[in-house]
Copies of this chain bind each other. A is one copy, B any other.
Amino acid sequence: MSNDDTFKAPSSNLRRTNRSLPIALLRARETVMGPVREMLSGSSVNEQKWRVLRVLEEGGAQDQNTIAQRACLLLPSLTRILSAMEAEGLISRRADAADRRRSIVQIEATGLTILKDHAKEAAGLVIDLRKRYGDEKFEQLLDMLEDLQQVDGAD
Protein backbone atom coordinates (compact mmCIF):
# COMPACT_ATOMS: atom_id res chain seq x y z
CA MET A 1 0.00 0.00 0.00
CA SER A 2 2.76 2.37 0.95
CA ASN A 3 4.98 3.62 -1.79
CA ASP A 4 8.58 4.76 -1.98
CA ASP A 5 9.88 3.75 -5.36
CA THR A 6 10.42 7.24 -6.69
CA PHE A 7 10.40 8.86 -3.30
CA LYS A 8 12.01 12.21 -2.80
CA ALA A 9 12.41 13.85 0.55
CA PRO A 10 10.50 17.09 1.17
CA SER A 11 12.54 20.02 0.01
CA SER A 12 10.51 23.03 1.06
CA ASN A 13 10.51 22.79 4.85
CA LEU A 14 6.76 22.71 5.17
CA ARG A 15 5.34 21.01 8.20
CA ARG A 16 4.52 17.35 7.95
CA THR A 17 0.87 17.16 6.93
CA ASN A 18 0.07 15.34 10.19
CA ARG A 19 1.32 18.46 11.90
CA SER A 20 -0.51 20.91 9.71
CA LEU A 21 -3.43 22.15 11.73
CA PRO A 22 -5.85 22.68 8.82
CA ILE A 23 -5.12 19.23 7.43
CA ALA A 24 -5.20 17.60 10.84
CA LEU A 25 -8.57 19.21 11.55
CA LEU A 26 -9.90 18.01 8.23
CA ARG A 27 -8.68 14.47 8.74
CA ALA A 28 -10.00 14.36 12.27
CA ARG A 29 -13.36 15.53 11.05
CA GLU A 30 -13.47 12.89 8.33
CA THR A 31 -12.71 10.26 10.93
CA VAL A 32 -15.39 11.46 13.26
CA MET A 33 -17.96 12.03 10.57
CA GLY A 34 -17.71 8.60 9.00
CA PRO A 35 -20.16 6.88 11.34
CA VAL A 36 -22.43 9.94 11.38
CA ARG A 37 -22.70 9.96 7.61
CA GLU A 38 -23.44 6.28 7.77
CA MET A 39 -26.22 6.96 10.23
CA LEU A 40 -27.69 9.75 8.12
CA SER A 41 -27.51 7.73 4.92
CA GLY A 42 -30.47 5.78 6.22
CA SER A 43 -32.50 8.96 6.65
CA SER A 44 -33.97 11.64 4.45
CA VAL A 45 -31.54 14.35 5.55
CA ASN A 46 -27.90 15.00 4.79
CA GLU A 47 -25.21 16.45 6.99
CA GLN A 48 -26.23 20.06 6.47
CA LYS A 49 -29.91 19.53 7.10
CA TRP A 50 -29.02 17.55 10.20
CA ARG A 51 -26.98 20.50 11.49
CA VAL A 52 -29.84 22.89 10.80
CA LEU A 53 -32.31 20.68 12.65
CA ARG A 54 -30.00 20.45 15.64
CA VAL A 55 -29.42 24.18 15.77
CA LEU A 56 -33.15 24.81 15.58
CA GLU A 57 -33.92 22.31 18.29
CA GLU A 58 -31.22 23.74 20.48
CA GLY A 59 -31.96 27.40 20.00
CA GLY A 60 -35.65 27.43 19.20
CA ALA A 61 -37.16 29.59 16.45
CA GLN A 62 -34.51 31.94 15.11
CA ASP A 63 -33.57 33.98 12.08
CA GLN A 64 -31.44 32.80 9.20
CA ASN A 65 -28.31 34.74 10.05
CA THR A 66 -28.24 33.07 13.43
CA ILE A 67 -28.79 29.63 11.95
CA ALA A 68 -26.13 30.18 9.34
CA GLN A 69 -23.58 31.12 11.95
CA ARG A 70 -24.40 28.27 14.29
CA ALA A 71 -24.61 25.61 11.61
CA CYS A 72 -21.52 26.84 9.74
CA LEU A 73 -23.40 27.53 6.54
CA LEU A 74 -23.28 30.53 4.26
CA LEU A 75 -26.53 32.37 3.74
CA PRO A 76 -26.91 31.46 0.06
CA SER A 77 -26.54 27.78 0.91
CA LEU A 78 -28.91 28.12 3.81
CA THR A 79 -31.54 29.79 1.65
CA ARG A 80 -31.61 26.79 -0.68
CA ILE A 81 -31.43 24.23 2.10
CA LEU A 82 -34.32 25.86 3.97
CA SER A 83 -36.42 25.98 0.80
CA ALA A 84 -35.93 22.26 0.42
CA MET A 85 -36.59 21.59 4.09
CA GLU A 86 -39.72 23.72 3.98
CA ALA A 87 -40.97 21.77 0.96
CA GLU A 88 -40.34 18.56 2.88
CA GLY A 89 -42.23 19.92 5.88
CA LEU A 90 -39.26 19.75 8.25
CA ILE A 91 -39.37 23.44 9.10
CA SER A 92 -41.55 26.49 8.55
CA ARG A 93 -40.76 30.13 7.93
CA ARG A 94 -42.72 33.20 8.94
CA ALA A 95 -41.95 36.87 8.58
CA ASP A 96 -40.89 38.64 11.75
CA ALA A 97 -43.70 40.99 12.73
CA ALA A 98 -41.33 43.61 14.13
CA ASP A 99 -38.86 43.50 11.24
CA ARG A 100 -40.23 42.31 7.96
CA ARG A 101 -36.82 41.79 6.39
CA ARG A 102 -36.26 39.00 8.80
CA SER A 103 -37.82 35.56 8.57
CA ILE A 104 -38.07 33.34 11.58
CA VAL A 105 -37.48 29.66 11.08
CA GLN A 106 -39.07 27.06 13.26
CA ILE A 107 -38.68 23.33 13.41
CA GLU A 108 -41.83 21.33 12.68
CA ALA A 109 -43.07 18.01 13.96
CA THR A 110 -41.63 16.13 10.98
CA GLY A 111 -38.22 17.63 11.69
CA LEU A 112 -38.41 16.80 15.36
CA THR A 113 -39.34 13.26 14.44
CA ILE A 114 -36.20 12.88 12.39
CA LEU A 115 -34.10 14.13 15.30
CA LYS A 116 -35.81 11.78 17.69
CA ASP A 117 -35.50 8.85 15.33
CA HIS A 118 -31.74 9.22 15.30
CA ALA A 119 -31.07 10.72 18.72
CA LYS A 120 -30.43 7.38 20.31
CA GLU A 121 -28.07 6.22 17.62
CA ALA A 122 -26.27 9.57 17.58
CA ALA A 123 -25.86 9.46 21.33
CA GLY A 124 -24.52 5.94 21.01
CA LEU A 125 -21.87 7.09 18.58
CA VAL A 126 -20.72 9.77 21.01
CA ILE A 127 -20.62 7.36 23.92
CA ASP A 128 -18.63 4.93 21.85
CA LEU A 129 -16.13 7.57 20.78
CA ARG A 130 -15.70 8.94 24.27
CA LYS A 131 -15.07 5.46 25.52
CA ARG A 132 -12.35 4.78 23.03
CA TYR A 133 -10.81 8.22 23.06
CA GLY A 134 -11.20 8.91 26.74
CA ASP A 135 -13.85 11.01 28.44
CA GLU A 136 -11.53 13.55 29.87
CA LYS A 137 -9.53 13.90 26.70
CA PHE A 138 -12.71 14.34 24.71
CA GLU A 139 -13.81 17.29 26.82
CA GLN A 140 -10.34 18.74 26.74
CA LEU A 141 -10.28 18.57 22.95
CA LEU A 142 -13.59 20.43 22.77
CA ASP A 143 -12.24 23.08 25.13
CA MET A 144 -9.12 23.51 23.04
CA LEU A 145 -11.11 23.80 19.83
CA GLU A 146 -13.33 26.40 21.43
CA ASP A 147 -10.26 28.37 22.52
CA LEU A 148 -8.90 28.20 18.99
CA GLN A 149 -11.90 30.06 17.68
CA GLN A 150 -11.07 33.01 19.89
CA VAL A 151 -7.71 33.29 18.21
CA ASP A 152 -7.48 33.21 14.39
CA GLY A 153 -4.39 31.79 12.70
CA ALA A 154 -3.11 29.19 10.21
CA ASP A 155 -0.59 27.06 8.29
At the interface, yes or no: A87 with Cβ under 8 Å from chain B? Answer: no
At the interface, yes or no: A17 with Cβ under 8 Å from chain B? Answer: yes
A42 contacts which chain B residues (CB < 8 A)? none
In the complex, 29 of the A-B residue pairs with CB atoms within 8 angstroms, ordered by the A residue number, are: A5-B61, A5-B104, A6-B104, A7-B60, A11-B112, A12-B119, A13-B119, A13-B123, A14-B119, A14-B123, A17-B51, A17-B55, A17-B70, A18-B142, A21-B32, A22-B32, A24-B146, A29-B29, A31-B149, A31-B151, A32-B155, A33-B154, A122-B155, A125-B155, A126-B153, A129-B155, A133-B151, A140-B144, A144-B144
The 7 closest A-B pairs by CB, nearest first: A129-B153, A7-B60, A125-B154, A35-B154, A6-B61, A12-B119, A25-B29
A4 contacts which chain B residues (CB < 8 A)? 60
Within 8 A of B (CB), among A1-50: 1-8, 10-36, 39
B144 adjacent to A137 (CB under 8 Å): yes
At the interface, yes or no: A115 with Cβ under 8 Å from chain B? Answer: yes
Count of chain copies: 2
B141 adjacent to A129 (CB under 8 Å): no
A60 adjacent to B17 (CB under 8 Å): no
B18 adjacent to A146 (CB under 8 Å): yes
